Copies of this chain bind each other. A is one copy, B any other.
């Protein structure tokens, strides 16, 4: 008998038919003798609808009142799902954030979790009830309702699993697991049985939107075993763990990120601290810089090239232009027609030649590499956006091809 936390997203509980399916999964887990805690998001587009309604009352509502309003969505979800379970003969009880003492800070609409009470949930589990808890919400020290921001229900589920020392936290979504690459775009993409937290974090930040990074970070910190699986198909998903139990693959996934702009600062004066000046100026404006390449250009003048999120590109250039004399450079060049292709794998730590293998795959398809960045478990290259899909396929074939 295990204690299992199961989280279902808004699209999985959008209507009575879908809730019936979800209740079926819960009932099966419960009937197998497990203690089951269920975390639910608001149904379907409820949150979007409530936000739109709020705007009719106040174009700029306070975040405190917005959280008060939005939290009703999850409360309705858990109550209706409890009713469905009752109709199937499964004892169930729904609980809100305050009822399980789900404490957060006071950063309304994007609150950070501080602690989760065990007492009430344990008592209900001891009475052999399925416990349904509202995702996405908590209370602050003033007993006011807070919400965790978008994707917060995943994080709620992990926090509850951590507090209860659950054996497993299952995140049910509309995909059936984590793949070696986007299965809709890459031939031969395979579902992974297992992946480590760090790999998952790198893949997620690369745009693989299976799990919210915040939830994976929390799972890593509290060592909560995760499983990503489908609400629609009954088959095992992908386990996300501290250390993978199967033999570590050298590479676990290939990802593409087109949300990138490359900026080159040209004709920099040859004086110390200029790179620091550029990046601290951007940091003050909360613009994150990713890959950085510093080169010695023609005639001894230096240049620095770096990437930012594409949406930040224009603003980054404007800010640097404003400080052109003070920072000491002659011009800027921006290229938004680029993409980042990355391989991620915990196995890289112990295997050599992984990066070389990736470059070989790209070279054989005559794909030009504009920039390179490596970390312990990741190698990223910047390529022309037109080459990106071809690059992903080539790299994927190299590592996962038969």
- Give the oligomeric copy count: 2
Is A33 positioned at the interface, with any CB of B under 8 Å from its CB?
A: no
A99 to B31, CA, bound (A): 36
Q: Which of B16, B68, B80 contacts A94 (CB 8 A)?
A: B68
The B-contacting residues of A in range 77-108, CB under 8 angstroms, are: 78-84, 86-87, 93-94, 96, 98-99
Is A65 positioned at the interface, with any CB of B under 8 Å from its CB?
A: yes
**In the complex, which of the residues A60, A61, A65, A69 has the most CB atoms of chain B within 10 Å of its own CB atom?**
A65
Is A350 positioned at the interface, with any CB of B under 8 Å from its CB?
A: no
Q: Which of B56, B60, B83, B143 contacts A99 (CB 8 A)?
A: B143
Asked whether A86 and B68 contact (CB < 8 A) given A56-B16, A57-B80, A99-B143, the answer is no
Q: Which of B62, B72, B80 contacts A76 (CB 8 A)?
A: B72
The tally of residues in A whose CB lies under 8 Å from a CB in B reads 39
Q: Which of B68, B75, B83, B120 contacts A58 (CB 8 A)?
A: B83
Query: Residue on B with the closest CB to A61?
Result: B83
Which residues of chain B are near A76, meaning CB under 8 Å?
50, 69, 72
A143 to B143, CA, bound (A): 14
Contact between A58 and B84 (Cβ–Cβ < 8 Å)? yes
Is A299 positioned at the interface, with any CB of B under 8 Å from its CB?
A: no
Query: Residue on B with the closest CB to A143?
Result: B99
Query: Residue on B with the closest CB to A92?
Result: B65
Is A255 positioned at the interface, with any CB of B under 8 Å from its CB?
A: no
Asked whether A57 and B98 contact (CB < 8 A) given A69-B80, A86-B62, the answer is no
Is A53 positioned at the interface, with any CB of B under 8 Å from its CB?
A: yes
Is A242 positioned at the interface, with any CB of B under 8 Å from its CB?
A: no
Q: Which of B64, B65, B86, B98 contacts A61 (CB 8 A)?
A: B86
Is A371 positioned at the interface, with any CB of B under 8 Å from its CB?
A: no
Is A19 positioned at the interface, with any CB of B under 8 Å from its CB?
A: yes
CB distance from A89 to the nearest CB of B (A): 11
**In the complex, which of the residues A58, A81, A84 has the most CB atoms of chain B within 10 Å of its own CB atom?**
A58
Which residues of chain B are near A96, meaning CB under 8 Å?
68, 145
Is A54 positioned at the interface, with any CB of B under 8 Å from its CB?
A: yes
Contact between A79 and B69 (Cβ–Cβ < 8 Å)? yes
Which residues of chain B are near A58, meaning CB under 8 Å?
83-84, 86-87
Asked whether A57 and B16 contact (CB < 8 A) given A69-B80, A80-B69, the answer is yes
Is A59 positioned at the interface, with any CB of B under 8 Å from its CB?
A: yes
Query: Residue on B with the closest CB to A99?
Result: B143
A144 to B84, CA, bound (A): 19
For the complex of A and B, 3 pairs with smallest distance between CB atoms = A58-B83, A69-B79, A72-B72
Q: List 7 A-B contacts (CB under 8 A).
A: A61-B87, A66-B79, A66-B83, A68-B75, A68-B82, A72-B76, A75-B75
Binding site for B on A (CB under 8 A): 16, 19, 50, 53-54, 56-62, 64-66, 68-69, 71-72, 75-76, 78-84, 86-87, 93-94, 96, 98-99, 120, 143-145
Apart from A66-B79, A68-B75, list 20 A-B contacts with CB within 8 A: A53-B80, A54-B80, A54-B83, A57-B81, A58-B84, A58-B87, A60-B87, A62-B83, A62-B86, A64-B93, A65-B82, A68-B82, A68-B94, A69-B75, A69-B80, A71-B75, A72-B72, A72-B75, A72-B79, A120-B143
